[in-house]
Amino acid sequence: MASAKFIRIAAALAFVLGGAGAHGEIYKWVDAQGQVHFSDKRYANEKAKRIDAEVVQEQQNPNQFVFYPDADALLQQNQKKPLGTSTALSAGHSQQGQNISLIRFDVASLLEELHRNPNKKLLRATLRLYANADDRLYGQNTTAEAGHFGKNGDNAFYLKPVHNNFEEKTVTWADFFDQSHYTPAAVRNLPSVTAPSSNEDNLKDYEIDVLPLIQQLMAANLRQFTLEMRLQRTSGRGQVTFFSREADPAKRPSLTVELFSEQN
């Protein structure tokens, strides 16, 4: 099975080729987030360059996988209304209690690639989270800074593997934590990932090394995992706020995994 990125490229290319006409003119460009786009329109993007359909296959990187969450959700303590379709993910603490978030990825295609090609090994795995200063979750008004805040507390946070049993559109704090959902031993044994304080930079994007987690995930043959994002300490005021998968596609969370071929 192709990676998520390859599927998107193949689907886009198939659509383009369907309307490219007899001459097969295809234009390609790469956006600021490194995503590849194709079009049969010369004016699709000022950076678009004409390419030949035959060379597209050669330009794909079989050792890079890009995944986006198949579900994520913001959970607010003492909040009964589901917030899974919010454009925000956050870990924070305020007078109203805690905010935590859930991010779920399906990495089955990566597992299948490693099983199919045992000479391939994990090289890098990076989780990218984009700062969100649009959603004001902690009572900020139009003059108070939103996004990350650590002036009166520490906003360092951790990402802990938990069970996958949640429905994005209906999950609440009480539903997730008070229903005694069982977390399998294989998930409990996965390593947590920590992220340092943002140093009060409310627009800081994070690139988090999750290679140890992905290595153990593959060793346990797990095809899907959910990360719980929570502050390491809840004294004082502190929060980090990121865009969710419901936000602009250029700002949604992403997991990039790179492989290399081990020489025999």
Q: 15-42 pLDDT, tens per residue? A: 444 444 434 556 666 766 666 666 655 5
Residue 142 reports pLDDT greater than 70: no
- Of the candidates 219, 173, 166, 211, the residue with the CA atom closest to the CA atom of residue 193: 211
- Of the candidates 52, 54, 37, the residue with the CA atom closest to the CA atom of residue 250: 37
Q: What tens digit of pLDDT does each residue of 157-181 get? A: 999 999 888 999 999 988 888 766 7
Q: What tens digit of pLDDT does each residue of 183-217 get? A: 888 888 899 999 998 876 888 999 999 999 999 99
Residue 250 reports pLDDT greater than 80: yes
- Of the candidates 178, 193, 203, 201, the residue with the CA atom closest to the CA atom of residue 103: 193
Mean pLDDT in residue range 88-92: 93
What is d(CA 11, CA 15) in angstroms, rounded to the nearest whole number? Answer: 6
DSSP-H helix ranges across the chain? 4-18, 56-59, 108-116, 173-177, 185-188, 211-219
What is d(CA 72, CA 104) in angstroms, rounded to the nearest whole number? Answer: 6
What is d(CA 110, CA 124) in angstroms, rounded to the nearest whole number? Answer: 13
Q: What is the pTM of this model?
A: 0.76
Contact between residue 83 and residue 75 where contact means Cβ atoms under 8 Å apart: yes
Q: What is the mean pLDDT of the chain?
A: 80
CB-count burial class (<10 Å; 0-12, 13-18, 19+) for 44 = middle
Instruction: Supply the pLDDT for residue 46.
Output: 61
